Structure 1
Amino acid sequence: MTHQTEKRGAVSFRGIRKSFGAFTAIPDLNLEIAPGELVTLLGPSGCGKTTTLRMLAGLETPSAGQILIGGKDVTHLPPNRRDVAMVFQSYALFPHMSVLDNVAYGLESGGLKRGEARELADRGLALVGLEAMGHRLPAELSGGQQQRVAVARALVLEPQVLLLDEPLSNLDARLRRRVRTEIRELQQRLGFTAVYVTHDQDEALAVSDRVVVMREGIIEQSGTPRTLYEEPSSEFIADFIGEANVVPCTVDAVAAGRAQVTLGRLSLDLPARTAQIGPAKLSVRARAIRLVPVDAGEETGRVRSMSYLGDHLEYEIDSDIGALFAISTDHAEPLTPGQPVQLSFEQGGAVLIGG
């Protein structure tokens, strides 16, 4: 098997539009993906992420624009001439064939002799840690193992780009965490270019070099997981990436890259970003809210409800800046409904955002 880094491919979407009759799903998509980069397309149902992936795979044809892979225009090429491989959420394994035969199938279909195809399939299974499972049928494997077989089957084709369409959606929560780690480690070790589609924010943050958040067919924001989480560009991003409270505030002054902000009875000094003097909005992460019990009359908020979720507590808070959702890991003295509290925010937990 050729080392994967020799065939890494850049991907370019240039002025892509996709319409279905009178409905335009993708109005004007421009996106560059570097060789060896794992980019996740993230967004709510109907945002255009799966349509974008299917156009890259050749399963949908753009209404306008160009798609390039490794510098080659593939816009109108069929899937088998694009040098991509796809991992589906349904695994799409042949139930009557052994795991080894499943992995070798694409190679044999491409004209490789059976012996050589099975040798490469063995190496593919070794890449995903399943070299001892080749003789089994798919039904004899766990869901996580079946998904790894699907990844191996794609990798042995040595594509320029690996496409993953909601690859973990059929797995339970614990398996999802494990398999996403395995996929990420494999991608980093082999250095292949990957485009990953999911609606799961945690999954996107965990596996990606870069996350592209889509909304109604447009790119709302693109950046590293940390950038999107800590520096949301809009209220939509703040609300969609992680659990954030978006509350109105007032910017009183801006100087030297800092903003003086009034939020109810709180005064904050924050990075100004693009803020201007006047009304603005603030994103406050649920885990960044500190709640300190106080005597009645001294509070800036009051506990409406508390939920115990094992490793953390969740609170709904009524405050003078609106309803807030807060998360705490302090199990020693949980707050009770009706209890008055003083609100404050951890360093970096509150960020000024656009509208």
Structure 2
Amino acid sequence: MSNSFHGAVEFRNVRKEFGKFTAIPALSLDIKPGELVTLLGPSGCGKTTTLRMLAGLESPTAGQILIGGQDVTRLPADRRDVSMVFQSYALFPHMTVVQNVAYGLEAGGMTAKKSHAAAEDALALVGLKGLGQRLPAELSGGQQQRVAVARALVLEPQVLLLDEPLSNLDARLRRHVRTEIRELQQRLGFTAVYVTHDQEEALAVSDRIVVMKDGHVEQIGTPRDLYEAPASEFIADFIGEANVVDAQVISVKDDQAEVDLGGVILSLPARDAKIGPVRVSLRANAMRVRQSTENTSGVAGVIATSAYLGDHVEYEIDGPLGRIFAVDDESDTPLPEGTAVRLDLRLRGIALIPAGAK
């Protein structure tokens, strides 16, 4: 197989209506060759509609879609140089694994001998060498998903599309297969557009993440950008379930803001903040929870609930910031409800939310 199949993707002011309902008002997005970009968001945000328009399974109401510089807006699905990996795998149960992978090549006119040789190469790429003569039912869920990926890759598309590819796998297998998909994408350098509603999955596999809400793009950035510098309260809450709390900017100088957060003064990137009230994203793991002692530093609070989860303890804590969620991975013994505590704040995981962002 070639390792050079990749293409750029462009959405130019794309609009999609279903009757009187506007699913995508105006989408503009550029994806670079060899980049894995994830479309992330809650159900109904427009991510799957966007992927289906790219695949040619839905037609835009307005705007343009380009793949590798070619306008494919009105081309049918079978004339676009893309392959899709579906949530359900969509394998033919009566065909062997190698027959499933070779099917698209044979349908395109390649001889059985050549298509089966290419299919065996693709199976080796995804770690399934020697399993070509098995039926899909004889494979595990993770192996079946890799067959679906091999079937898509063997066509050497400009763009690989993945629609919730791990949702049918259990949690441990999801972690394993997502790592395999990411390693394969980086090794072969193909362009991929990946749809998921799972924030952790998106953070793990993506070069960039496009977070969508109600058909609009809320923020585009690297996993680190979105986690550490959310552009809105929605992003802060959706990526990693941050606490969004009130604080006060005391001063701003050289793009740094002095911020009063629950009685603790912090210096944070200003992000265009002005002196006065501000909203702050406070990650659950950006705090160290300890019992109150004579040392009165940190944000005061009282344990409202606690839960032991093996490698960490989760707390809900009442205090001047309201009720907040905190994770303590340094203690294996939960503090009981009603315990007075102090929260030592770590700068990583705390960010000002730009004014006016919701």
TM over 0.5: yes
What SS is found at the alignment partner of 1:303? strand
Corresponding position: 1:157 with 2:155: yes
Q: Using the alignment, how far apart are the partners of 2:89 and 2:349 within structure 1?
A: 39
Equivalent position of 2:288 in the other structure: 290
Measure how far apart 1:349 and its partner are: 2.4
Could you tell me the TM-score, scaled by structure 2's length? Answer: 0.96
What amino acid does structure 2 have at the position aligned with 1:148? Answer: R
What aligned pairs does 1:199-214 form with structure 2 within 5 A after superposition? 199-214=197-212
What SS is found at the alignment partner of 1:122? helix
Q: Using the alignment, how far apart are the partners of 2:36 and 2:61 within structure 1?
A: 26
What SS is found at the alignment partner of 2:151? helix
Equivalent position of 1:4 in the other structure: 3
Corresponding position: 1:328 with 2:328: yes
Match of 1:140 among 124, 138, 145: 138
Measure how far apart 1:281 and its partner are: 0.3
Contact 2:255–2:272 (CA<8 Å) still a contact in 1?
Answer: no
Q: Using the alignment, how far apart are the partners of 1:339 and 1:16 within structure 2?
A: 54
What aligned pairs does 1:31-180 form with structure 2 within 5 A after superposition? 31-180=29-178
* Structure 2 residues without counterparts, runs of 5 or longer: none
Measure how far apart 1:333 and its partner are: 4.3
Cα displacement string for residues 191-226 of structure 1 (whole angstroms, at most 9, x for unaligned residues): 000000000000000000000000111110000001
Q: Using the alignment, how far apart are the partners of 1:292 and 1:90 within structure 2?
A: 47
Cα displacement string for residues 58-97 of structure 1 (whole angstroms, at most 9, x for unaligned residues): 0000000000000000000011111000000100000011
What SS is found at the alignment partner of 1:330? coil
Cα displacement string for residues 261-310 of structure 1 (whole angstroms, at most 9, x for unaligned residues): 11232222211112111111000100111112115996710001110111
Percent identity over the alignment?
Answer: 67
What amino acid does structure 2 have at the position aligned with 1:307? Answer: A
Q: Using the alignment, how far apart are the partners of 2:289 and 2:241 within structure 1?
A: 17
Contact 1:296–1:340 (CA<8 Å) still a contact in 2?
Answer: no
Cα displacement string for residues 287-342 of structure 1 (whole angstroms, at most 9, x for unaligned residues): 11111211599671000111011111100100111001000112344311110011
Q: Using the alignment, how far apart are the partners of 2:115 and 2:267 within structure 1?
A: 63
What SS is found at the alignment partner of 1:269? strand
Could you tell me the TM-score, scaled by structure 1's length? Answer: 0.97
What amino acid does structure 2 have at the position aligned with 1:4? Answer: N
Contact 1:295–1:340 (CA<8 Å) still a contact in 2?
Answer: no
**Greater shift in the superposed pair: 170-179 or 246-255:** 246-255
Q: Using the alignment, how far apart are the partners of 1:264 and 1:89 within structure 2?
A: 45
What SS is found at the alignment partner of 2:285? helix
Q: Using the alignment, how far apart are the partners of 1:154 and 1:102 within structure 2?
A: 10
Contact 2:308–2:334 (CA<8 Å) still a contact in 1?
Answer: no
Change (3 A) 1:175 1:332: closer
Q: Using the alignment, how far apart are the partners of 2:16 and 2:170 within structure 1?
A: 34
What SS is found at the alignment partner of 1:36? coil
* Structure 1 residues without counterparts, runs of 5 or longer: none
Corresponding position: 1:339 with 2:339: yes
Which runs of structure 1 show a deviation greater than 3 angstroms over 4 or more consecutive aligned residues?
295-299
What SS is found at the alignment partner of 1:154? helix
What SS is found at the alignment partner of 1:311? coil
Equivalent position of 1:225 in the other structure: 223
Change (3 A) 1:84 1:55: same
